[in-house]
DNA sequence: GTATGTGAAGCACTTCACAGCT
DNA sequence: AGCTGTGAAGTGCTTCACATAC
């Protein structure tokens, strides 16, 4: 359910910090597009609704990117964060599940500009196998491992019904995939070296429903 | 960027706890469907990959739902959590943005079974206004407030391009909406009595990309 | 014997506050 | 004068461990 707790010692940054970096990246990109060249942690924090101290502390896990008395060069900081996150390279994605949701994901135009490219699609339904989805042929799941490795896929997006989702996850894990974006409404069980993030709008709505019943 | 920190004193449960309840709900539902009648925090924790102490502590904010020496009655606990979250009632949803993503959301079959019903749709594009999407007529945004109140909508899902997303959020807030599920890739600014959760698969992928570059 | 509920302890993240640089 | 980078302090969430109940 969780990401593992942050290993503070001398190792890497806590996972919460890693999760904030993409937010910083996004806002810095907007600032850069608006022609802003220098920004202080104070102002960046105001945009992100985060304290300036948190931004400075977060960045300090990775180096010293600012100039005292001045602030951060937006372009430079953008580059550094992109490198920290390993976003220089384009990453290939395999989508498992070519139903309604899977096809929406394959057709989603937001991935490519960020360097994520869906390069193969799988489904277990014989009626779908061999058909096209978003310009890609839908593969049988039986030779998933070979295809993922041939296509140099490092990330799998899971968009299958909940019933067999864990089985599919097991197969994805057996295919040596270490990063999974899970749209299936289950608590995925994976080994500790596999990273999963979940996308589930229903859970988000349910937790906010709480505030509809108590506030007011 | 965050949910506000948990007000510990005597007030409600911390927000992190509220966010976990839907996970508990989901797993309990699966257990119930599998015919499980009683479960211990130990076993439930194993399913959810959470410690048993966390489950007990979380539930203790709301009452005492278990039987010592035995565990929790699955059906009963389900009911209690549904009530805590305010999920007895069906909640109406307004979707703002009838583009590709908005229409995918409108057609998403996962909301209705959980008591969330999309009852109106808005867009600012004159070419879309008056057209149908998922059985609903697409409304102009100018009379959003009236329509939302007439339709008794308490939740808005935002699926608009980033450029004008904050303006749309402002208009949604002015319409007295207190709960927003935001699919737009921006850091939404809202008053403190408005609750926002974000869905952004790109951020999730970017943070996991970090692990692709450092691990192994 | 088994499992809950909960104060107390532990731990990790956030914020403070200031030395140091520009 | 202004802002970063960071040890230290503060805060809140998680885990422990045991009294209590079945």
Which pLDDT value is given to residue A11?
Answer: 64
* Mean pLDDT of the residues in chain B: 95
Mean pLDDT of B49-61: 98
A133 Cβ neighbours under 8 A, 6+ residues apart: A98, A102, A103, A106, A121
* Strand partners for B117: B92
- pLDDT tens per residue, range A119-148: 999 999 999 999 999 999 999 999 999 999
Residue predicted with more confidence, A34 or A9: A34
Mean pLDDT of A15-20: 98
Q: How far does the CA of A143 sit from the C1' of D13, in Å? A: 44
Q: Which residues of B125-163 are buried (b: 16+ CB within 10 A; e: fewer)?
A: eeebbeeebbebebbebeebeebbeeeebbbbbbbbeee
Question: Is pLDDT above 80 for A215?
Answer: no
- pLDDT tens per residue, range A55-79: 999 999 999 999 999 999 999 999 9
Mean pLDDT of A150-171: 98
Which pLDDT value is given to residue B4?
Answer: 64
Inter-chain contacts counted by CB atoms under 8 A, chains A and B: 193
Q: Which helix (H) or strand (E) holds A137?
A: strand A136-139
Phi, psi of B47 (to 5 degrees): -60, -45
What distance in Å separates the CA atoms of residue A84 and residue A176, rounded to the nearest whole number? Answer: 23
Question: Is pLDDT above 80 for B48?
Answer: yes
What distance in Å separates the CA atoms of residue B159 and residue A63, rounded to the nearest whole number? Answer: 36
HSE, CB side, 13 Å, CA atoms: give it for residue A48. Answer: 26
All protein residues with a CB under 7 A from any atom of strand C: A 5-6, 8, 14-17, 50-51, 53-54, 56-57, 67-70; B 2, 5, 40-42, 52-53, 56-57, 59-60, 64-72
* Mean pLDDT of the residues in chain A: 95
Neighbours of A86 (CB within 10 A): 17
Question: Is pLDDT above 70 for B42?
Answer: yes
Which pLDDT value is given to residue B214?
Answer: 85
- pLDDT tens per residue, range B136-181: 999 999 999 999 999 999 999 999 999 999 999 999 999 999 999 9
A113 Cβ neighbours under 8 A, 6+ residues apart: none
Q: How far does the CA of B20 sit from the C1' of D20, in Å? A: 27
8 A C-beta contact, residue A99 and residue A159: yes
Which pLDDT value is given to residue B8?
Answer: 43
Q: Which pLDDT band holds residue B5 (cuts at 50, 70, 90)?
A: low
Which pLDDT value is given to residue B12?
Answer: 84
Indicate the residue of A155, A178, A209 with minimum beta-carbon distance to B85. A209
List of chain B residues whose C-beta atoms are within 8 Å of the C-beta of residue A18: 207, 210
What distance in Å separates the CA atoms of residue A193 and residue A177, rounded to the nearest whole number? Answer: 10
Q: Which nucleotide has the shortest C1'-to-CA distance from B67?
A: C4
3-state secondary structure of A166: helix
Of B135, B141, B107, the C-alpha closest to B122 is B141
Q: Is the whole model's pTM more than 0.85, yes or no?
A: yes
Mean pLDDT of A84-101: 98
8 A C-beta contact, residue B136 and residue B121: yes
CB contact under 8 A, A114 and B202: yes
Q: Which pLDDT band holds residue B11 (cuts at 50, 70, 90)?
A: low
List of chain B residues whose C-beta atoms are within 8 Å of the C-beta of residue A216: 178
Top residue of B29, B192, B211, B214 to mutate, by most chain A CBs within 10 Å, is B211
Question: Is pLDDT above 60 for B9?
Answer: no
Which pLDDT value is given to residue A6?
Answer: 63
Phi, psi of A39 (to 5 degrees): -145, 145
Question: Is pLDDT above 50 for A9?
Answer: no
- pLDDT tens per residue, range B105-129: 999 999 999 999 999 999 999 999 9
Of A129, A117, A104, A124, the C-alpha closest to A171 is A124
């Amino acid at each position: 359910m969780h990401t593992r707790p942050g290993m503070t010692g001398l190792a890497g940054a806590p996972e919460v910090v890693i999760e904030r970096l993409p937010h910083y990246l996004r806002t810095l990109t907007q600032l850069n597009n608006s022609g802003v060249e220098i920004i202080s942690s104070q102002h960046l924090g105001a945009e992100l609704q985060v304290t300036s101290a948190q931004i400075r502390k977060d960045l300090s896990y990775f180096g010293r990117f600012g100039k005292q008395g001045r602030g951060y060069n937006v372009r430079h900081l953008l580059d550094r964060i992109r490198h920290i996150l390993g976003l220089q390279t384009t990453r290939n994605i395999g989508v498992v599940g070519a139903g309604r949701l899977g096809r929406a994901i394959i057709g989603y135009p937001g991935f490519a500009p960020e360097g994520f490219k869906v390069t193969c699609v799988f489904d277990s339904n014989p009626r779908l196998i061999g058909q096209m989805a978003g310009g890609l042929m839908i593969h049988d799941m039986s030779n998933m491992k070979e295809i993922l490795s041939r296509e140099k896929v490092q990330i799998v997006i899971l968009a299958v019904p909940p019933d067999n989702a864990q089985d599919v996850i097991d197969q994805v894990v057996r295919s040596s995939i270490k990063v999974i974006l899970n749209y299936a409404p289950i608590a995925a069980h994976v080994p500790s070296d596999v990273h999963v993030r979940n996308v589930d709008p229903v859970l988000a709505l349910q937790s906010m429903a709480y505030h509809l019943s108590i506030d007011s």
